[in-house]
Amino acid sequence: MSGRVALPDGATIVVIGGGPAGSFFAIRALRKAREHGRRLDLLILEKEQELNFYESACPFASRGGCNYCAGGISPKLAEVLREDGLALPDGIVQGRTDRIVVHGDWKSIELTVPEGKEVLSVFRGSRPNKRLERYTNFDSYLLSRAVDEGARVITAEAREAHFSADGRALIGYRVADGERVRDETVGADLAVFAGGVNQQMGKEAGSGRLFQMVEELIPDYRPPKVRQALISEMQGEEDDLRYMAGELHFAQYGSKDLRIEMSSLIPKERWMTVVLLGKSVDEARPTEYLEIVKGFLGLPHIRRLLPGEVNLKPVCLCHPNMTVGMARNPFGHRTAVIGDMAVSRLYKDGILSAYTTANALADCIFSSGVDRGSLKMFYRPTVADLHGDNRFGKMVFFVTREVFSRPILSRIFYQSLLTERKNRPRQKRRLEGVLWKISSGDDTYRHIFAETLRPRTAWLIFAGGVLVTIRNYLTERLFGLEWGDFGRYPTGVPLEEVEKKRREIMTVLGLEPFTGQPEFERMYSIRMKADEKAVFRQLGKFGDEDRKYFKPRFVNVHRTVGGPNEVGSTVRYDVLLSRLSFNVVLEKVVAGRYLLYRVQGGFPRGGVLTFDIDRSRPGGGFLTIYVAFNFPTSRNPLKRLGWYLFKLAFPGYVHDVIWNHSLCELKHVAELDQE
């Protein structure tokens, strides 16, 4: 069995497994064969039964079952699918993500999906069962595209493998034809194993029949290391999850009792796919799985994500294996192993690595051959490269887990990212770029790791994170701001959105634009799961003694004239130095939407304070606060100098710290105040 063995014209290739790896390989191999003017008989054996939906308008045969996957399609995968003419049709796409939310013990960080990038979600199989359109799913779609290219698909389980006397691989498979079963054998010039690692869920990958078959053909093959995950499909009522549409959540921590290292929540219309990995999952008995999922959804940082009273029911729950290592010798004479059975990108993008290994194999067999030497030379490097990259991935995930699961580190990182967001345009934000790549899988772990080591990254974290956090912490202490029994949320607005929102507020409220940039300008925004009436009611308490927010030490804020949200009502800010005290007068109200206060007296006189409730989604929206004023000046040179020095010394960050804290409190009370 030595020497180069080319794939003959009219060769038969048997692919065991019609998941992504099997379909991607079939598509590429059949296209290559056409390019090279070669005939190819490509047979895919897929053990999942075909579904029959007599009334469905589905143009292709659909596979049943489930491939135990969250169905997240990374930007890279979406891109290569488009380039290969395999762009996912609308029916297959369950969700288009516009925001990835990374949860940290201090605060969550929202990352908007950059223009031109796509993050999608799909169902891999027909589950969850109650789905109306369960015949449309990702694996069936890919398989149908393989059939379009000329693949034959047989619903059968591969059960045996050995070499024939002339060195071809013989694959025995069982076809279930209703009640009857029949065993058949097919000879292959190349056997491709793409059966994944979930033949026996929860057991070491190598213990199943499929792996024994591989070892029959490649005696020194050893399966990759796997780790157990928990995956659950949760179902809500019709509109329950609409509030979360377009979001994708990642959290790398649980609690002291629920040790979670990696988790994702992907809302898909009425469903939400929850994936968990961590020590608590590793050590759990099957009877504990449901409790783990429920416990996870009940954790404060997760509970806060879910809209109000939503009651999610787990309709599917399983504990599949996830590939976390690399198989030894995933190639042999006329035999190769692809997809999860060979290697997978660590914790992200397994489908993309299935694509990568499948394509590398298809390229290799046409450019070189199907003998062990050719596969070692031209196929193995791709598998080894993915594995090598995963080593960096381990370090990246270790660091991010440590950072996001600790309040202090998480606060520092959050702060540095926010500082950068407020000061630099999106395309120049390094920290946001790195976090985007980690969470979306948009770059190799190698590159991500290298970027985190750059001195510039360390500087951004030190100057924008460590120093600013110390300063903010001291400010909170000074003004008596305690983080009580309510969540902490980001309120910073990225530079590019400030401009847009300012224009909107000015236009709607008929405000005279400032000449030039106001000398002091701040915008804060917070997402609320409360309707506008509740938010408006709470805003009406601005200045009331019994309000539950905006009560910093040293600043006595109280209404002196009028009632809640009443035009002409006046709220007084008394500060230590009476010369700095001022009034804000409610000048305009657009019910349920905008409040415009004008500043009278004090240093910010003539300035504005506006509240804007933008209810962009059912069940919630954003409350945005906009503050702008110019510092006073005077004809008297001494006074002018005095105001100038005051402007230089004015601690704008105190305003940020107080309003961030107040908005988190306000969100909390408004959400409790739903009618």
* Residues found near ligand FAD in the complex (CB under 6 A): 16-22, 45-48, 67-72, 157-158, 194-196, 198-199, 210, 229, 231, 275, 320, 322, 339-340, 344, 349-352, 354
The distance of closest approach from Cβ of residue 3 to ligand FAD in the complex, given in angstroms and rounded to an integer, is 30
The distance of closest approach from Cβ of residue 364 to ligand FAD in the complex, given in angstroms and rounded to an integer, is 17
Q: Which is nearer to ligand FAD, 233 or 340 (CB)?
A: 340
Q: Which is nearer to ligand FAD, 355 or 449 (CB)?
A: 355
The distance of closest approach from Cβ of residue 275 to ligand FAD in the complex, given in angstroms and rounded to an integer, is 5
Beta-strand relationship, 99-103 and 109-112:
antiparallel
In sequence order, which ranges of 40-106 are alpha helices (DSSP H)?
75-83
The distance of closest approach from Cβ of residue 143 to ligand FAD in the complex, given in angstroms and rounded to an integer, is 9
Q: Which is nearer to ligand FAD, 72 or 75 (CB)?
A: 72
Give the three-class secondary structure for 488: coil
Q: Which is nearer to ligand FAD, 354 or 571 (CB)?
A: 354
- Report which of 565, 570, 560, 654 is spatially closest to residue 611, judged by C-alpha positions: 565
Q: What is the distance between the alpha carbons of residues 431 and 362, in angstroms, rounded to a whole number?
A: 38
Instruction: Quickly count: other Cβ atoms within 10 Å of residue 187's Cβ.
Output: 14
Q: What is the distance between the alpha carbons of residues 672 and 417, in angstroms, rounded to a whole number?
A: 30
Query: 259 is written with which tokens?
Result: 């040790």
The distance of closest approach from Cβ of residue 312 to ligand FAD in the complex, given in angstroms and rounded to an integer, is 18
Q: What is the distance between the alpha carbons of residues 458 and 203, in angstroms, rounded to a whole number?
A: 42
The distance of closest approach from Cβ of residue 316 to ligand FAD in the complex, given in angstroms and rounded to an integer, is 11
Q: Which amino acid is at 126?
A: S
Residue that has been written with the tokens 């290799």 in this structure: 364
Residues in Cβ contact with 383 at an 8 Å cutoff, skipping those fewer than 6 apart: 326, 327, 330, 342, 343, 357, 360
The distance of closest approach from Cβ of residue 67 to ligand FAD in the complex, given in angstroms and rounded to an integer, is 4
Whether the Cβ atoms of residue 289 and residue 189 lie closer than 8 Å to each other:
no
Q: Which is nearer to ligand FAD, 52 or 423 (CB)?
A: 52
- Report which of 553, 583, 573 is spatially closest to residue 657, judged by C-alpha positions: 553
**Secondary structure in 3-state letters for 65-81:** CCCCCCCEECHHHHHHH
In sequence order, which ranges of 205-299 are alpha helices (DSSP H)?
209-217, 279-282, 289-297
The distance of closest approach from Cβ of residue 206 to ligand FAD in the complex, given in angstroms and rounded to an integer, is 14
Q: Which is nearer to ligand FAD, 354 or 360 (CB)?
A: 354
Q: Which is nearer to ligand FAD, 276 or 595 (CB)?
A: 276
Please state the separation of Cα 244 from the chain's center in Å.
12
Q: What is the distance between the alpha carbons of residues 171 and 15, in angstroms, rounded to a whole number?
A: 10
Q: Which is nearer to ligand FAD, 144 or 475 (CB)?
A: 144
